[in-house]
Structure 1
Amino acid sequence: MSLRRAIDDAYWAMLAAAHLPGEQYTEPIGDPGHFGPGSAIWYVHGDVSGVLGGVSGLLLGTLNEPVTHGTNQHSDYLQDPIRRLGFTSSFVMGVTYGSTPVADKLTGTIRAMHQRVHGTMPDGRPYSATDSADIIWTGVTQAYSAARAHVRYHPNPLGGRDLDRYFADYAVISEKLGATDVPKSRADIADYFAMMRPRLTVSEETLQAVRFLRGAYGSDKATQWSSMALSRVATDLLPDFAKNLLGLKPRTPLTPVVARATGTLLTRTLRYGVRWRNIEQAHARVGAAYVPPSAL
């Protein structure tokens, strides 16, 4: 087996371990979906740097304690993280690149799942996955982290107003899930975090989730090493306020240097080996040429 094939197989074994029903990228012909090939979100999500941002977004998301508690109570990610990662990737990629009926079907599936995620925390605070504020938190932390990874590791990253276009695109996903008044620009997100920071807390449950996300998982040494390396790169992508709250400030001046060198190595390796068949299919569906980031 060639090195490229081995990298591709390992990547999709992790990201495509599970799929939501209805995820596909080939039909109907000509339907660009909610975004299309000229959109910022197609560009940003079409690179492996998004995986680094996704893990960083999960770490950042733990700081909203009701959301973390709800996830712990209604998810099996601690028992089967690869399967959970597969479902998350299936949703994000499917809504980004799928046709309109595919994106709507996936959104409907997640909204139905969210209906079951509600309850009360031990301190009496309610949580609900259908609450607009909780949907916004999840969407913003993911979009913000994906954008940070994109800017740092993409070979030709978007900037300025093009990043605003990306945040506006991602806001559509949150709105489809039931959120209102979603932040849609860099300025909106800066204001949002300024508003949210006094409400963010760190509990033992938060720290448990962080320890898990930063730990090694997988059945073989290569996967375990890769997951550890990925988590350190994802930690480095966190904003300073999150690192301070979670006790993840760099131990030495070399810590971020090593993390960023590792991030560059990871993204270049994955870019070399991974073939984005779903994105190729989405471009073919609308008759657009696909140029992978490695060819830029």
Structure 2
Amino acid sequence: MLSVPLPSTLPSLPSVGGLSVRLPHQYVGDWLNARFDDQVKSKFFRGMEFDAPQGDPGWFGPDSRTWYVHSHTPALIFGLQCAAYLERLDPSIYWMGIHHSRLVETGDSGVVARLDPEGLAVRLGHSLAFFIGTAYGSTATAERLARTVRSMHHTIKGVRPDGLAYDADDPDWLRWNYATVVWGIATAHEIYHPKPLRGAELDEYYAEFVRVGQSLGGTDLPTSKVEALDCLKEYLPKLGLTFGNAMATGVNVTNPAQAAVDWAIRDTMPAWAAHLVMYRPPNPVERRARRAAVWSAINGLHASMGEAPEFAAAKHRVAGGTTVAHTEPTYVLGSDPAMDRDEVERVYGG
């Protein structure tokens, strides 16, 4: 999750006649929002439109399950971490990240195993911008974000140390990557949202969200929870415990806060995936207690930070109704212009 450490002492609360006039969690929420704006939104949300044009529903619209699920920002962030953990069980995904992202430090001898905190923050910032922007942004904003991600994916090609080639435009890879994302977000919502969607309503989210995967070139994508689980398990023969996942889980995590998050992530995984990362659920009483603690932390953050401004702006955009139906992405793989990574970053700020 995004590292937003609390200061050793919080600023004193404003008071009148010696009595605090604001609740402490509200004051902490203001501080967290300010840090979030400074570290994430000011850097990664530039050029995104949420309050206009009036009547534009974007890709989903106000009655969608996607608006509901993504409106809980801390649960969304946690779900993206669950997805990232699961997707790295694919060795090709792992080496894509090592070779083409800023997630790990580099030294004189090349890539080293240590995670780069700044690179992790950049990755999370881009991910949040994409999944909030495609959910609540105008149609033009959603299309631009999808085009940016596709353009970056087009540059991610290479060879693993074992000699196998990888290509981020491979439809099979896109299908796996999509399934991990929708599963991660939906499962985090199901476990940690105060009023989660379940059953048929949750399946409506899976069915809606497929638009995002299609906008990136995905095909034959799962449209329900059962289909997503089946899709993920299909890839089991290709998966394994990569070095990155092994070093970032279980007994190798010594920081207590990080260990708690690591446990909560592994606790969301399908049973067969949990076995790969050496996770066995504790007894039911302990598991409920642990989940309750994580639930309190995630929902405490949400209560402190309040409704995301982007969500509020999107609701205002369609307050008078929608003027057109939402737009289904129509991207066809291979139809984008060819650009190298430097061109992508210059054009899109990737």
Quote the offset at 1:109 in angstroms: 0.7
Match of 2:166 among 127, 134, 139: 127
Indicate how the Cα distance of structure 1 residues 95 and 184 shifts in structure 2: closer, same or farther if over 3 A, else same: same
Quote the offset at 1:23 in angstroms: 2.1
| TM-score (norm. length: structure 1) | 0.85
Using the alignment, how far apart are the partners of 2:35 and 2:272 within structure 1? 34
Q: Is the 8 A contact 1:22 1:106 kept in 2?
A: no
Q: Is the 8 A contact 1:119 1:127 kept in 2?
A: yes
Using the alignment, how far apart are the partners of 2:266 and 2:37 within structure 1? 23
Using the alignment, how far apart are the partners of 1:60 and 1:233 within structure 2? 13
Name the structure 1 match of 2:300.
269
Q: Is the 8 A contact 2:48 2:137 kept in 1?
A: yes
Using the alignment, how far apart are the partners of 1:204 and 1:225 within structure 2? 21
Using the alignment, how far apart are the partners of 1:100 and 1:246 within structure 2? 39
**2:273 aligned with 1:247, yes or no?**
no
| TM-score (norm. length: structure 2) | 0.73
Q: Is the 8 A contact 1:22 1:105 kept in 2?
A: no
Name the structure 1 match of 2:267.
236
Quote the offset at 1:215 in angstroms: 5.2
Indicate how the Cα distance of structure 1 residues 72 and 251 shifts in structure 2: closer, same or farther if over 3 A, else same: farther
Match of 1:44 among 69, 79, 104: 69
Indicate how the Cα distance of structure 1 residues 139 and 12 shifts in structure 2: closer, same or farther if over 3 A, else same: farther
Quote the offset at 1:21 in angstroms: 4.8
Name the structure 1 match of 2:192.
153
Name the structure 2 match of 1:279.
311
Quote the offset at 1:60 in angstroms: 0.9
Using the alignment, how far apart are the partners of 1:195 and 1:52 within structure 2? 25
Quote the offset at 1:15 in angstroms: 4.9
Name the structure 2 match of 1:24.
49
Partner of 2:209, secondary structure, is helix
**Structure with a larger share of its residues in helix:** 1
Using the alignment, how far apart are the partners of 2:216 and 2:68 within structure 1? 22
**2:141 aligned with 1:102, yes or no?**
yes
Using the alignment, how far apart are the partners of 2:273 and 2:42 within structure 1? 30
Q: Is the 8 A contact 1:41 1:166 kept in 2?
A: yes
Percent identity of equivalent pairs: 28
Using the alignment, how far apart are the partners of 1:229 and 1:205 within structure 2? 18
Name the structure 2 match of 1:114.
153
Q: What are structure 1's unaligned runs of at least 5 residues?
A: 217-223, 290-296
Equivalent position amino acid for 2:76 in 1: G
Name the structure 2 match of 1:219.
none
Using the alignment, how far apart are the partners of 1:74 and 1:249 within structure 2? 33
Quote the offset at 1:255 in angstroms: 5.6
Q: Is the 8 A contact 2:249 2:262 kept in 1?
A: no
Aligned positions, number: 280
**2:40 aligned with 1:8, yes or no?**
no
Using the alignment, how far apart are the partners of 1:171 and 1:156 within structure 2? 23
Quote the offset at 1:102 in angstroms: 0.5
Using the alignment, how far apart are the partners of 2:167 and 2:227 within structure 1? 24
Partner of 2:77, secondary structure, is helix
Partner of 1:156, secondary structure, is coil
Equivalent position amino acid for 1:286 in 2: V
Q: What are structure 2's unaligned runs of at least 5 residues?
A: 1-12, 14-26, 105-115, 322-350
Larger Rg: 2
Quote the offset at 1:284 in angstroms: 0.8
Match of 1:63 among 71, 74, 89: 89
Equivalent position amino acid for 1:70 in 2: M
Indicate how the Cα distance of structure 1 residues 205 and 149 shifts in structure 2: closer, same or farther if over 3 A, else same: closer
Indicate how the Cα distance of structure 1 residues 14 and 165 shifts in structure 2: closer, same or farther if over 3 A, else same: farther
Quote the offset at 1:204 in angstroms: 2.3
Partner of 2:235, secondary structure, is helix
Name the structure 2 match of 1:293.
none
Partner of 2:43, secondary structure, is coil
Indicate how the Cα distance of structure 1 residues 33 and 225 shifts in structure 2: closer, same or farther if over 3 A, else same: farther
Q: Is the 8 A contact 1:119 1:128 kept in 2?
A: yes
Indicate how the Cα distance of structure 1 residues 43 and 120 shifts in structure 2: closer, same or farther if over 3 A, else same: same
Quote the offset at 1:203 in angstroms: 3.0
Query: Which of 181-190 and 230-239 deviates more?
Result: 230-239
After superposition, residues 131-210 of structure 1 pair within 5 angstroms as 131-208=170-247, 210=248
Please tell me the root mean square deviation across aligned C-alpha atoms, in Å. Answer: 2.5
Runs of 4 or more above 4 Å deviation: 10-15, 224-228, 250-255
Using the alignment, how far apart are the partners of 1:62 and 1:68 within structure 2? 5
Equivalent position amino acid for 1:287 in 2: A
